[in-house]
Structure 1
């Protein structure tokens, strides 16, 4: 019988991407297990592409309702050997899985309860139940990826209005970057930014509106530099090892910093201060990063 390990994540894109190094460590610790994922299908497909999950189920599937209610383990999950669940209020779901599991079922909060980086927090908690080696760098999302980008991409949005500044701030950033980098500069807008009227507010500027995560990933592949806020888009750029400037207005980068090798973090609640910090740090960032 195939031994199955379940990963269930009910959070947002950025939160999920911060779990990937830990899932990679679990996979290395349990090489003979078949890894199944439950969550947002688009998010899970990234883990499939990275060969961290073997099979996935969309969290919207009706047959999962009894599982989320904690009343019944569906047949598709009946051979679960162990699990890690990022499920707020998932105690009853964890309990019914434990009845047939031969290994620990670990229930974790999405928001860390300790003042450490989220990935490290997850790693520490799971290490209490499974022997894990420290996470290593994830493989490329696109192995045949473009080596050098051609675009400067700015994402002015985030999952919460408290995480980003006014659109004027990002216009000012664009002017600053256009004057200093010999690259075409454009804005990434998602459905939330479009509904807020940002295409009209940006006028004739270059705008990209990817329709799904795959299109977004392909666009980010073309980036010589990405500029954004604490958002799922920024976390995806970090996963893809793009050079990135990320602004943290209301969240703590000590907990939510994107995983990436070339990241400039700017933390400030105030727009003017954030821009000043960006100007001061950017020149040095250019010197230490091979942009062009």
Structure 2
């Protein structure tokens, strides 16, 4: 029997938030160089994939609505040439339209996430699905890659050269994942008073979901000691994370981004599963607790200091 013809050009579809999209990076980094990938997703996640795929496209752009038409409409999709399509989007209408626009080409649809409670990381889940679809990658090797080097770290960068601020992100896309501002205020007080950290600059990242914290930050006595980064764009956020001495955040897209930049990262889990969502990077520590407490603040401060060592 002759060997299967290698896939030269693949369209991968993964609509999702920042963290969901970043979970694709290990697999994309492991793909054989001869495989051309067009990646269809959503911003801001796709802004961080350009170095690992040949083309990124925004699902909110014109023409992709054709994927969701009840009956295939006239005109091609914005990306209409591929040897295969892999979509992390299980939908009969999407399948019908993909098969219409890519006749006689393999079309694979997979669940974007493992089942709740399934003991597998999201990044390994998607890597195995891509391999199942025939893409040339080793899922286990792909999953190990981020622990060896930050996949988004600049070439030659290392944690020993980092002299930037301690960066904290007190939010996420889900309030259920978040510890309250009182926890973060106590942690910031501890950082500013701890001998190992009190002379280091501190930056607080506030995205659209955390803008409501700007007032409380400015109203506390901590306000003058902290640089607030309000709604940073992808390039500004990358620069801050690349230079940071340490990052502390919830289970959020920004936390995954920090870890993938190779930044020493402390991830605080409350409602989500670290088995499936642990950030991937060479220096990551995870703490998990259902709710805030004085002892958890102390644990977080100790963990932050240990990551700086």
Normalised-by-shorter TM-score class: 0.7 to 0.9
Question: For residues 122 and 108 of structure 1, what CA distance do their matches in structure 2 show?
Answer: 9
C-alpha displacement of 1:107: 1.6
SS in structure 2 of the partner of residue 62 of structure 1: coil
**What's the RMSD between the two structures over aligned residues?**
2.5
1:4 correspondence with 2:9 = yes
Counterpart for residue 173 of structure 1: 187
Change (3 A) 1:285 1:43: closer
C-alpha displacement of 1:125: 2.6
CA distances 1:212-255 after superposition (whole Å, capped 9, x unpaired) = 12111111122101110011110100110111111111001011
C-alpha displacement of 1:33: 3.4
Which deviates further from its counterpart, 134-143 or 32-41?
Answer: 134-143
Question: For residues 77 and 24 of structure 2, what CA distance do their matches in structure 1 show?
Answer: 26
Counterpart for residue 245 of structure 2: 224
Contact 1:39 1:57 survives alignment (8 Å): yes
SS in structure 2 of the partner of residue 264 of structure 1: strand
Q: TM-score, normalised by structure 1?
A: 0.85
**Structure 1 segment 35-184 matched on structure 2, within 5 A:** 35-48=37-50, 50=51, 52-69=52-69, 71-72=72-73, 74-87=76-89, 89-98=90-99, 100=102, 104-113=106-115, 114-130=118-134, 131-133=136-138, 134-135=141-142, 136-137=145-146, 139-143=151-155, 147-180=161-194, 181=197, 182-184=199-201
Gaps in structure 1 of 5+ consecutive residues: none
Q: How many residues matched?
A: 279
Counterpart for residue 191 of structure 1: 208
Contact 1:41 1:56 survives alignment (8 Å): no
C-alpha displacement of 1:187: 1.2
Change (3 A) 1:101 1:24: farther
SS in structure 2 of the partner of residue 266 of structure 1: strand
C-alpha displacement of 1:47: 0.8
Question: For residues 107 and 228 of structure 1, what CA distance do their matches in structure 2 show?
Answer: 32
Contact 1:68 1:90 survives alignment (8 Å): no
Q: TM-score, normalised by structure 2?
A: 0.81
Contact 1:230 1:247 survives alignment (8 Å): yes
Gaps in structure 2 of 5+ consecutive residues: 1-6
Question: For residues 167 and 258 of structure 1, what CA distance do their matches in structure 2 show?
Answer: 22
Question: For residues 130 and 17 of structure 2, what CA distance do their matches in structure 1 show?
Answer: 20
